[in-house]
Structure 1
Amino acid sequence: MNTTTPSKLEKILAEGHFAVTSECGPPRGANGEVVEEKANLIKDHVDAINVTDNQTSVVRLCSLAACIRIKQMGLEPVLQMVTRDRNRIGIQSDILGAASFGIDNILCLTGDHQHFGDHPQAINVFDLDSTQLIQTVKLMRDDGQLLGGFEMKERPNMFIGAAANPFADPFEIRVARLAKKVAAGCQFIQTQCIYNMEKFKTWMQQVRDQGLHEKVAILAGL
């Protein structure tokens, strides 16, 4: 696996090392110091810190602002971005904003439905899904283009990740969904938390059968 970005996480994985990441949930308020406190608790134990994006559809301090704080601490943030709350204009703008602060990792997600959160009356967007978000980041990075066709001189150089759920039904399509994300340009996968080892083993065997483990780094969720 050759490195394509300045990402420290990518370098660790490319060298064949075991990488450890941890989530950091931003606060439900404007106190950014909470992010720094959480990051300080885990910084000596992880290679990168995932910053969630209004997880479970609950309003929190934005992932981008939290990532900037973590980056300024000299740590390695992973920007989680959901397509639920943004159209393609907002998505591309936030990607450029993150890149301008040297944020080198992005985890592309669809996001939980707003009915599960604290604003069930909100209108979702879903202009793109997570696979299309992967394609968008790759287009911006590799081709220097926006979705509208504009060509940029300064490209966002990001290590592209996505999530996989080896346990959701129907189980038969789980690896096929992963294959689509890999084909779209995903370079690393983070799975949902593993509670069923036998099912995870079956999923991993199917991943190996298709050779996907040679095309994407897989970080198992614990």
Structure 2
Amino acid sequence: MRLTEFFDRGEFVVTAEVGPPKGFHIEHLVEEANEFLKGRVHAVNVTDNQSSVMRLGSLATCKVLKDNGLNTIFQVTCRDRNRIALQSDILSAALLGIDNLLLLTGDHTTLGDHPQAKPVFDLDSVSLTHAVKRMEEGFDIAGNAIDGEFPKFSKGAVVSPCSDSVDAQLAKMEQKVKAGVEYFQTQGVYEPEKFIKFMDKAKQFGVPVQLGIIIPKNVGMVRYMNANVAGVHVPDDMIEELKADKEKTKAGITGVEISARIIKECKDYCQGVHIMALGWESKIPAILDQAGL
């Protein structure tokens, strides 16, 4: 089911992200999705070679999860495929009945486990969104007709509300909306006051926004994000909170409490939440419970 249908009903839309393994045995991923996500989230995002690390494909994983009764979001990055392959994969998603997309430019290959790989970037997230919109109208990006009726997708993109350059983020957001983006998922938010100020400006676009939550696992993780992840800043008081009780933090209790608190502070200013658990999918039900969702 398309995510936009849930937004149109006025539902607070909850999604979660899973990463395919570096291999093709996904029984554990499917078990965890069935146990911790089914019935609790509206859809499951499947990453596409996240952080430029070669893994099982997003499309194949989406199909397996869909066959197990989960609504899925096919993440598509422009880094590894040219416009021919990207459009071909969108056609494949249509064939498989996967009707939610998250369209991304993608991390550079130098960040991943194949740093010598040649990046493609034939399109970016804006031009890829335009290509999908044209396909929905019955044409490929070169203007050639597509055989038969083409289905409608929910087309999503990302935005970084806590970036140092808010105006630049708003400008990118506007470009994406004009290209056809229908919902946004944000980069991880740890500063609710910045998110709320950003949303006050972003509401002009009239497009649903899901608050991004990255569960903070430990001090090392959040310090790494502060140093290396653009648009993410974990405040010092939150780092001290993770330091305060090491056993509580190790058990994930502190991360759950922080995540739930951020959701509660921000949920009146957005239309949903997207949780990036990074292997802690088992914590998602507790976060949602504590956040009152």
Task: Answer yes or no: same fold by TM over 0.5.
Answer: yes
Following the alignment from structure 1 to structure 2, what is the Cα–Cα distance between the partners of residues 220 and 11? 18
Distance 1:34 1:12 in 2: 28
**2:101 corresponds to which of 97, 101, 106:** 106
Does residue 73 (structure 1) correspond to residue 68 (structure 2)? The answer is yes
Deviation at 1:73, TM superposition (A): 1.2
> In the aligned structure 2, how far is the partner of 1:147 from the partner of 1:22?
31
Equivalent residue for 1:88, pick from 80, 83, 91: 83
2:234 aligns with none
Whether the 8 Å CA contact 1:35–1:70 is kept in 2: the answer is no
Deviation at 1:30, TM superposition (A): 1.1
Return the offset for 1:111.
0.7
Offset of residue 34 of structure 1? 3.3
The whole-number CA distance in structure 2 between the counterparts of 1:59 and 1:35 is 17
> Is the counterpart of residue 176 in structure 1 residue 171 in structure 2?
yes
The one-letter amino acid of 1:101's match is: L
Equivalent position SS for 1:81: strand
Task: Normalising by structure 2, report the TM-score.
Answer: 0.70
2: CA distance between counterparts of 1:197 and 1:75? 30
User: Residue 80 of structure 1: SS of its match in structure 2?
Assistant: strand
> Per-residue deviation at 1:157?
2.2
Task: For structure 1, list consecutive stretches of 5 or more residues without a partner in the other structure.
Answer: 1-5
How far the C-alpha of 1:171 sits from its partner, in A, is 2.6
RMSD: 1.2
Query: In the alignment, what sits opposite 1:3?
Result: none
Deviation for aligned residue 1:170? 2.5
Cα separation, 2, equivalents of 1:61 and 1:108: 18
1:123 match: secondary structure: coil
Give the corresponding residue for 2:279: none
Structure 1 residue 167, shift from structure 2 partner: 2.2
Query: Could you tell me which residue of structure 1 aligns to residue 208 of structure 2?
Result: 217
What displacement does 1:44 show?
A: 2.3
Q: Is the helix fraction higher in 1 or 2?
A: 2
Please give the per-residue CA displacement for 1:50-87, whole angstroms capped at 9, x wherever unaligned: 00000011111000000000111121100000000010
- The residue type equivalent to 1:36 in the other structure is V
Are 1:131 and 2:122 matched, yes or no? no
Contact 1:26–1:34, Cα closer than 8 Å, also in 2: no
Please give the alpha-carbon distance, in whole angstroms, between the structure 2 residues aligned to 1:201 and 1:220: 10
Identity %: 46
Shift, 1:115, TM fit: 1.0
Please, which runs of 5 or more residues in structure 2 have no aligned partner? 214-293
3-state SS of paired residue (1:30) = coil
Task: Find the aligned partners of 2:100 and 2:39 in 1 and give their Cα distance.
Answer: 19
Could you say what secondary structure the match of 2:21 adopts?
coil
**CA deviation vs aligned residue, 1:158-179 (integer Å, no higher than 9, x gap):** 1111111112342321111101
Which residue of 2 is the match for residue 11 of structure 1?
A: 5
Structure 1 counterpart of 2:21: 27
Aligned-pair distance for 1:114? 1.0
Residue type of the alignment partner of 1:119: H
Deviation digits for residues 109-153 of structure 1, max 9, x if unmatched? 011111111011110000000011111111101x11011222122
The number of residue pairs the alignment matches comes to 211
**Equivalent of 1:149, from 143, 146, 149?**
143
Distance 1:11 1:174 in 2: 26
The alpha carbon displacement at 1:207 in A equals: 1.1
Which residue of structure 2 lines up, in the alignment, with residue 201 of structure 1? 196
Alpha-carbon deviation of 1:43? 1.2
Provide the secondary structure at the position in 2 that maps to 1:112.
coil
Q: Which amino acid aligns with 2:102?
A: L
